[in-house]
Amino acid sequence: MFEERCYQKFPSPLVWWAAENYCQSLGGHLAAVNTPQENGFLRDNIGNGWIGMKIGAVLIKKEREKIVNFTWSDGSPAGDAFREQDISFDGFPEYILRFNDPFCAFLEDHGPWSLQPCSLIEKEFICEKVMKNVWGTDQWYDVSCDERATRSFICKRAAGRVTRPGDNG
């Protein structure tokens, strides 16, 4: 079941940390993907971008992967959407253990999420904001979810039905 959330994709590339700070300045966080359905929703409606998963250490040894210390930037648990087999390890050396600069997840519009060093690569990103009242007062950029707007906000309701701004049905 979807919670009440709005998303906005920002095409101006930033490193993960700067993207998270920007989302926080708007009252949100980088998107936390908590279910496979939410993962599909974001891919189908938003596309690719940094999401809020930060991975403290990755150990790869002869095609055996182990990920430790993964968290969402909003503090929520990883949920059912995250499975180690859903992350691409292509391009990684045979052995890697990294603690100083964590890896962060990038939602690809097709295929598994990719891992990138959080501080080294600038990419577009997806902010998420929990809406207290989808039909009412909580706003992002002074646009409530029930108004027609030119911005790329997409809302979802607790009932799991995907809506777009202005969709009252």
* Cβ neighbours for 140, distance < 8 A, ≥ 6 positions apart: 6, 8, 26, 27, 28, 129, 153
Predicted pLDDT at 153: 47
Report residue 155 CA to chain centroid gap: 14
CATH number of 7-131: 3.10.100.10
- Cα separation of 94 and 51, whole Å? 25
Query: Using one digit for the tens of pLDDT, what is the confidence trace for 132-168?
Result: 654 544 444 444 444 443 344 455 433 344 444 444 4
Whole-structure pTM value: 0.69
